[in-house]
Amino acid sequence: MKSFVVATLVASAAAFAPVSQRASSPTAISAANKFANELGAQAPLGFFDPMGFLGPEDDTQFQWLREAEIKHGRISMLAVVGYLTTYAGYRIPGMEDVPCGFGVFDKTVYTTDLALNNVRWTIATMLILETAIVKDGYDLAEFPGDYLNGFGKIRWDGRSADFQYSSRAKELNNGRAAMMGILGLMVHESMGNVDQILPFLNK
């Protein structure tokens, strides 16, 4: 457990490091990798690939891994917000008796038609987003995770290169922090001490 906490702290520190601090002195091994200076390789870890996934320096694999990282980060940011919101006691109509955390997977708590319809519409919305909206449907993406599909392109292109880089780096790093955050909440819920780490929230 101690090693998990240490790893969490290291990852969190990397996620919240200033965007302008890019990796300046990667190790001799990572310095030779062509992805060593890509977006996200920044202090204090720099180019961090301990499993060697990017060893072959394959562009297709890098694009796939980066897009997967961004998508998981976006989902995790929503998950953290959703967890904290429901933990604080907020519910949509029909879900007042549904617990937060792992309790939502207990189908016996959905006792009303409104609650069941909420679940059905949530699943339907997720399927629609995943299959038709949250994707590069027209091959217009300029970078991994670009799902604008032409909408808002004029506004985005009107921004400076520094603003675009900074915005993308912030999203990437906030997503990394959120992935660690939701994992931490899941672990502490399993341990039964969420109340101790979130004393300021009332159910």
User: Per-residue pLDDT tens for 146-190?
Assistant: 998 888 888 899 999 999 999 999 999 999 999 999 999 999 999
Instruction: Give the pLDDT band (50/70/90) at residue 132.
Output: confident
The Cα-based distances of 4 to 9, 64, 123, 133 in angstroms read 9, 27, 32, 36
Question: Which phi-psi region, left, alpha or beta, contains residue 116 (left: φ > 0; alpha: ψ -120 to 50)?
Answer: alpha
Residue 46's beta-bridge partner residues? 42
Report the share of the chain in percent with pLDDT over 70.
84
Residue 58 has pLDDT above 90, yes or no: yes
Q: Is the model's pTM score more than 0.85? A: no
Q: What is the mean pLDDT of the chain?
A: 85
Instruction: Please tell me the distance from the alpha carbon of residue 181 to that of residue 69, in angstroms, as a whole number.
Output: 15
Instruction: Please tell me the distance from the alpha carbon of residue 128 to that of residue 196, in angstroms, as a whole number.
Output: 38
Specify the pLDDT at position 31.
Answer: 60
Mean pLDDT of 124-146: 90
Residue 15 has pLDDT above 60, yes or no: no
The DSSP line for 89-139 is T---TT-TTPPSGGGGG-GGG--SHHHHHHHHHHHHHHHHIIIIISS-TTS
The separation between the first and the last C-alpha atoms of the chain, rounded to the nearest angstrom, is: 27
